[in-house]
Amino acid sequence: MNAEEILAQVAKEVAVCERCALYHSRKKSVPGEGPANAEIMLIGEGPGFYENEQGRPFVGASGQFLTDLLAQAGLKRSDVWIGNVVKCRPPGNRDPLPEELATCDEYLERQIKAINPSIIITLGRYSMGKFMPGAKISSVHGQMRKVGDRYVIAMFHPAAALHQASLKPSILADFAKLPELLEQARKGLGRSAPDAAPKEKPKDDPKQLSLF
């Protein structure tokens, strides 16, 4: 199966998953969304009230804030893949339990393998903990590390700014550094920023002639 087919299969499985207790409070599962070949993957914590209603990630107030943060960093939401470490809403927006994280991790791993992003941006301490075990988000937020063959950037969850206003300046500052961090990651991987759209030259352009 190609990446799109794998992601569709995961979404189909998640929709009827009963491996942990979270399915009891599920209206709609939230497998994640975005291009199957996304260069950048954002991973949050879990669906909230509006996500549970719509089946899409980051559609509430924190989602709008995330969209604004990405725009300030020169990124379109439609260009990145967005998901969570758990695919169903924890009751009352509580933190996901260890067994819930472990159960959903198989789905997330399959998504990461299918998309194969160059850069992963973690949103919140639970997704950060997957890639930087033992780290404290208060110490590593806004920082980038090489993890395996890709780069991981740890960020506060956008909802943190809504619940704790004192964190908003830090979140804004971290995302303001994102273009520079992305450039560093691309250099480290020997890549350049993806073009917005491929440019086509006329077929009779002499510059197109083979030099061989």
Q: Say how many C-beta atoms besides its own lie within 10 A of residue 99's C-beta.
A: 12
42 part of a folded domain: yes
- Number of C-alpha atoms within 13 angstroms, CB side, residue 131? 32
Q: What values do phi and psi take at 52, rounded to 5?
A: -65, -30
122 part of a folded domain: yes
Residue 190 confidence (pLDDT): 86
- Looking at residues 7-36, what average pLDDT do you find? 97
185 part of a folded domain: yes
Residues 167, 160 contacting (CB under 8 angstroms): yes
115 part of a folded domain: yes
CATH number of the domain bearing residue 140: 3.40.470.10
Task: Give residue 32's pLDDT band: very low, low, confident or very high (50, 70, 90).
Answer: very high
What is the number of structural domains in the chain? 1
131 part of a folded domain: yes
State the residue range of the domain holding 131.
3-192
pLDDT higher than 60, residue 206 = no
CA dihedral 186, 192, 195, 200 (to 10 degrees): -160
49 part of a folded domain: yes
Closest CA relative to residue 109, chosen from 209, 10, 211, 212: 10
pLDDT, one tens digit per residue, over 87-141 is 999 999 899 999 999 999 999 999 999 999 999 999 999 999 999 999 999 999 9
Residue 195 confidence (pLDDT): 58
197 part of a folded domain: no
Q: CA 56, CA 33: separation in Å to the nearest integer? A: 7
198 part of a folded domain: no
